[in-house]
Amino acid sequence: MWIDPSRPAERALVTHGHADHARSGHGAVWATPETLAIMALRYGTEMGTPVPYGDGFEHGGVKISFHPAGHVLGSAQILLEHAGERVVVTGDYKRRFDPTCTPFEPVACDVLITEATFGLPVFTHPPIEDEIAKLLAARDANVDGCIVVGAYALGKAQRVIAELRRAGYDAPIYIHGAMQKMCDLYAAHNVPLGDLIMATGLAKSELKGAIVIAPPSAMNDRWAQRLPEPITAMASGWMRVRQRARQRNVELPLVISDHADWTELTDTLLELRPSETWITHGRTDALGRWCELHQLKARALDLIGREDEDEG
Amino acid sequence: MQAFAALIDGLIYTRSRDLKIRLIADYLRITPDPDRGWALAALAGTLNIATVKSAAIRAMAEERFDPMLFRMSRDYVGDTAETVALMWPDKSGGDAAPTVSEVIDLLNSTSRARAPAVLAELMDRLDANGRYALLKLATGGMRVGISARLAKTAFGQAFGVSVDDVEEVWHALRPPYTELFVWGEGRTERPDPADSAFFRPFMLAHPLEDGSVHLDEFAAEWKWDGIRIQIASTGGETRLFSRGGDEVTGSFPEIAAAFNNIGVVDGELLVRGDVQGGEAASFNALQQRLGRKNVTAAMQAEYPVFVRLYDILFDGSEDLRGQPWTARRDRLELFTAKLDPARFDLSAVIAARDFEHLAEIRAAAREAAIEGVMLKRRDSLYLAGRKVGLWYKWKREPLVADCVMMYAQRGSGKRSSYYSDYTFGCWTEDGNLLPVGKAYSGFSDEELKWLDRFVRNNTVARFGPVREVEKSLVLEVAFDAVHESKRHKSGVAMRFPRISRLRRDKPAEEADTISALRAMFD
């Protein structure tokens, strides 16, 4: 039994639908119903056993249950219980409000296996309302052009759209073709995204004053050249660091992340106070140092096949 | 302070020069005095807060943060001020954010010992972007890609005054430049520059494409391969300015010190080279002096600089710009005769019978420091900028070499979706390719499309934004000169390389060798 295996495995527990956690070709898969739907959309006919939040099952004497992680639709922490010992694998998580998914629930445990994508004290994600206001102000200041927002196709794109709606923006939002199906899937899971229009193939004049959401890979490519005087925005936690944003030719950095920032990571550790913490996925050294300073027992767990750059 | 912080961030993320100017102009128009004047000084590099040095910021960080966590963060971010600004716990929202002038007043009125504490109190009143702007303001290094000239251009645009007028009064004023804004808003006459040495815009030349000029109408002189500079002296002070109008006096103090005459002259800064028997050495030697704020006596001795004079704008306080070139040339010759010949000489007029004869002389010129020939209308007045039909530059025929494309990178702006920056190499004796240069111009739009496709279809490895390609495409590269370089593994560096032809017909093995390039050394 593997959790988020990077290679095809006979039995896999999958925390959420991002490609570096949910791979195709496993024998048996256990995941939340939403994650299974995302995997089916991405990989075709993938089947698995749905495990709703709070539910669990037994395997080889270990009780396995899934709990909300607040990262993207369907994302889960996995709790393993055996002989009175509790191990929680957070997967990717965040503690901030997100209208597109169920909020993170702290799960008491002895061993916590935590992510650390933004595990450096320079990473504090500002309130998302401020970032959305920045986006809307840029849109109002450029009614003759458009704003193209780079956002990961699963989760980030839908969150940005939902937050724009929450801020009262009810005009159509234009999306890159690669996002359509995922947005439909979100809508089918009761995450209303309002009026979405495919941007591909539209005349420049039709996109004046528009907000266009596209995967980061399309931003610097020819696809973006069909847009009328686009301002390049990027929704990512990495945008906190100026040089990072400049490297990617971003003109409007939006610090919006689906991962826990430094404060969320450390507050969660203080809240749960596990007797042992294993740190994976990201800046293991800095979070490890913080644990040492706070007399928490911790060690780094190196994983293979993880990409810590493009999401976030 | 928030408005200033927003301006700084805007400048960091904006690539277009015009948009940068607009951002600064908008800020200068709507921000009250004296904040906007301090901001202008910060952008133009004339703000100096003596109590805060970057060591103070490091000290402030070490007092508050775990040294290991700080080091890891600093390594990741790459900038100390930004790291401190981002790590600083957010307490903003209590005390109102300070204004720019409050920051300046507080820091200027404290001592160096007390400054970190004052800075820390200010940090607590700001958000992350405000803290970043505060630290950059306090230490002086804004690093937002703005030259002093650009800041002045933005001021001119903000208030509809000419940048030349701004330039004239600039050096007579001190931060926060209140008089400048009063004048900009039309509330007073232009401030009197009085007895200060300031920059006057250069007269520039168009390239002589094809065709010729008549030497009765045009005078010919050599175009030297150095740094174009202007020397302005009032007798009281002497300043040196680069072509963009930025002051470079500090990089060449011996020139300013040796200039013992009053006036404004235009010339080329060169390094004297022993190898050429006291003549000017190549641009490569001059590069050793470029961009240094302070130079040591050893540097001055190793790379002795002098100025070869082209033109005179002011003789004493007499403005000669309205006189024809012939009259200015006579005055320049008299003026130069009074200067120290070790530091100043005259750019000679070339004696040619006719244009064909000039072409022969130009073709035979082998001296390293000669970039080509200048043709100046004998009746041309000294006019700012590039005016059609007055001055032409006629560069030496470029050198060419056949090189092999090795790496490609995407361009910026309109070209960001194309692989348009190419690194190319030549062969070593034992059959390896080593990079000899990088070029991103010289090809047509059609050729760019073809090159982009070639890169995409022939990628063998990726390193971040860089693609390594199959070593199969020969590029004919044109360049103005090639010289020894310790910085490159190949040991050679080209000046102004550009792609002159795509040699799809030529096998990569037949491209040039590095020793062939060495044979072209000046």
Residue B382 lies in a domain: yes
Residue B95, pLDDT score: 67
Among the three residues B395, B424, B452, which one is the final residue of a domain in this structure? B395
- What string of DSSP letters covers B339-376? S-TTTEEEPPBP--SSHHHHHHHHHH---TTEEEEEEE
One domain for residues B421 and B364: no
Look at the alpha carbons of B462, B463, B466, B469 in this order and tell me if their dihedral is positive or negative.
Answer: negative
Cβ–Cβ below 8 Å for A242 and B76:
no
Secondary structure of residue B127 in the 3-state scheme = coil
Instruction: Say yes or no: B450 and B475 in one domain.
Output: yes
- At residue B287 the predicted structure's pLDDT band, cuts being 50, 70 and 90, is low
Q: Specify if B266 maps to a domain.
A: yes
End-of-domain residue from the set B395, B413, B440: B395
* Closest to B400 measured CA to CA, from B360, B362, B437, B444: B437
CATH code of B491's domain: 2.40.50.140
Amino acid, res. B498: R
State which residue of chain B sits closest to A233, comparing Cα positions. Answer: B13
- Measure in Å the smallest separation between the Cα of B70 and chain A Cα atoms: 8
Domain boundary among B89, B109, B139: B139
Task: Tell whether A290 is within 8 A of chain B (Cβ).
Answer: yes
Measured in angstroms, the CA of B453 and the nearest CA of chain A are apart by 13
Residue A144 contacts B, CB cutoff 8 Å: no
Range of the domain at B15: 2-139
Q: Same fold for the domain at A2-122+259-300 and the one at A128-254?
A: no
Q: Do A242 and B73 touch (CB under 8 A)?
A: no
Query: What letters, b where the CB count within 10 A reaches 16 and e where it falls short, cover A43-58?
Result: eeebebebbebeebee
Mapped onto helix, strand or coil, the DSSP state of residue B74 is: helix
Q: Which of the two residues, B367 and B9, has the higher pLDDT score?
A: B9
CA distance B419 to B450: 10
> Do A121 and B82 count as a contact with CB atoms less than 8 A apart?
no
Q: How many other C-beta atoms can be found within 10 angstroms of the C-beta atom of residue B445? A: 8
Confidence of residue B413 (pLDDT cuts 50, 70, 90): low
The alpha-carbon gap from A82 to the nearest alpha carbon of chain B, in Å, equals 36
- Which parts of B86-161 are beta strand (E)? none
Determine, for residues B86 and A124 on separate chains, whether the beta-carbon distance falls below 8 Å: yes
Q: What tokens appear for B466 in the block?
A: 């860089």
> CB A116: neighbour CB atoms within 10 A?
25
| Domain match, B232 and B370 both | yes
Chain A, 207 to 236: residues with Cβ < 8 Å from chain B are 220-222, 224-225
CA A211 to chain centre: 21
**Cβ contact, residue pair A241, B69, below 8 Å:** no
Spell out which residues of chain B touch residue A293, defining contact as CB-CB under 8 Å: 66
Same domain, B76 and B63: yes
Residue type for A309, please? E
- pLDDT, tens digit, for every residue of B65-117? 999 999 999 888 888 899 999 999 988 666 689 999 999 999 999 998 898 89
| B344 pLDDT more than 70 | yes
Mean of the pLDDT values across residues B214-234? 92
The answer on pLDDT for B277 being more than 70 is no
* Nearest Cβ partner for B66 among A241, A246, A293: A293
Q: What is the pLDDT of residue A46?
A: 65
H or E element: which one contains A64?
strand A62-68
User: Same domain, yes or no, for B360 and B221?
Assistant: yes
Terminal Cα distance for chain A, rounded: 27
Domain tally, chain B:
3
- Interface membership of A82 toward B (CB under 8 Å): no
Using 50, 70 and 90 to split pLDDT, how confident is the model at B290? Answer: low
**Residues of chain B positioned with their CB less than 8 A from the CB of A253:** 13
CB A89 within 8 A of CB A1: no
Q: Report chain A residues whose CB lies below 8 A from the CB of B15.
A: 249, 251
Task: Give the model's pLDDT for residue A282.
Answer: 76
Check residues A157 and B364 and name the one with the higher pLDDT.
A157
Q: What is the pLDDT of residue B278?
A: 44
**Closest CA of chain B from A181, distance in Å:** 26
pLDDT value of residue A150 = 96
Contact of A7 with chain B, judged by CB distance below 8 Å, is answered with: no
Determine the residue among A117, A122, A279, A309 to mutate to test chain B binding: the one whose Cβ has the most chain B Cβ atoms within 10 Å: A122
pLDDT value of position A309: 40
Residue B348 and residue B452 in one domain:
no
Q: What is the SS3 string spanning chain A? A: CEECCCCCCCEEECCCCCCCCCCCCCCEEEECHHHHHHHHHHHCCCCCEECCCCCEEEECCEEEEEEECCCCCCCEEEEEEECCEEEEECCCCCCCCCCCCCCCCCCCCCEEEEEECCCCCCCCCCCHHHHHHHHHHHHHHCCCCEEEEECCCCCHHHHHHHHHHHCCCCCCEEECHHHHHHHHHHHHCCCCCCCEEECCCCCHHHHCCCEEEECHHHHCCHHHHHCCCEEEEEECHHHHCHHHHHHCCCCEEECCCCCCCHHHHHHHHHHHCCCEEEEEEECHHHHHHHHHHCCCCEEECCCCCCCCCCCC
| Architecture of the domain defined by A2-122+259-300 | 4-Layer Sandwich (3.60)
| Statement: residue B276 has pLDDT above 50 | no
HSE-up of B256 (CA within 13 Å, CB side)?
Answer: 17
Are both B107 and B248 inside the same structural domain? no
Q: What pLDDT is attached to residue B303?
A: 81
- Does A148 contact chain B (CB < 8 Å)? no
Specify the amino acid at residue B220.
A
A33 contact B CB<8A: no
A300 touches chain B (CB under 8 A): no
Same domain, B382 and B419: no
What pLDDT is stored for residue B509 in this prediction?
Answer: 86
Verify whether the Cβ–Cβ distance B417 to A220 is below 8 Å. Answer: yes
DSSP 8-state symbol, B272: B
- Is the link from the previous residue into B176 a cis peptide, with omega within 30 of 0? yes
Residue B274 pLDDT grade (very low, low, confident, very high; cuts 50, 70, 90): low
CA distance A224 to chain B (A): 9
Q: Is A294 on the interface with B (CB under 8 A)?
A: no
Q: Does A122 touch chain B (CB under 8 A)?
A: yes
- Closest residue, chain A, to B87 (C-alpha): A122
B178-188 residue pLDDT tens: 999 999 999 98
Give CATH for domain A128-254.
3.40.50.12650
Evaluate whether residue B81 is within a structural domain.
Answer: yes
Q: B77–A249: do the CB atoms touch at under 8 Å?
A: no
Of B72, B86, B412, nearest to A285 by CB-CB distance is B72
Instruction: Work out the angle between the directed axes of helices B148-159 and B35-44 (0-180°, nearest 10).
Output: 140
First to last CA, chain B: 53
Q: Encode chain A (312 residues) as per-residue pLDDT tens digits.
A: 899 998 999 999 999 999 989 998 899 999 999 999 999 999 886 679 999 999 999 999 999 999 999 999 999 999 999 999 999 999 999 999 999 999 999 999 999 999 999 999 999 999 999 999 999 999 998 889 999 999 999 999 999 999 999 999 999 999 999 999 999 999 999 999 999 999 988 888 899 999 999 999 888 777 887 888 899 999 999 999 998 888 788 999 999 999 999 999 999 999 999 999 999 877 788 999 999 999 999 988 866 444 444 444
The answer, for A246 touching chain B at a CB cutoff of 8 Å, is: yes
The whole-number pLDDT of residue B34 equals 95
CATH number, domain with residue B7: 1.10.3260.10
Is the pLDDT score of B130 beyond 80? yes
Q: Give yes or no for a contact between A169 and A196, defined as CB atoms under 8 angstroms apart.
A: no
In chain A, what residues touch B83 (CB-CB under 8 Å)?
A: 122
At residue A114, the 3 state secondary structure works out as: strand
Q: Which residues of B touch A243 (CB under 8 A)?
A: 77-79, 82
Q: Looking at chain B, which residue has its C-alpha nearest residue A244?
A: B77
Cα angle B334, B340, B342 (rounded to 5 degrees) comes to 125
Q: What is the CATH number of the domain that holds B385?
A: 3.30.470.30
CB A77 within 8 A of CB A111: no
Same domain, B372 and B452: no
| Helices A180-188 + A156-166 axis angle, to 10 | 60
Does B7 share its domain with B41? Answer: yes
Same domain for B355 and B211, yes or no, is yes
Domain boundaries, chain A: 2-122+259-300, 128-254
pLDDT band at B464 (very low <50, low <70, confident <90, very high): confident
CB within 8 Å: A249 and B82: no
Is pLDDT above 70 for B517? yes
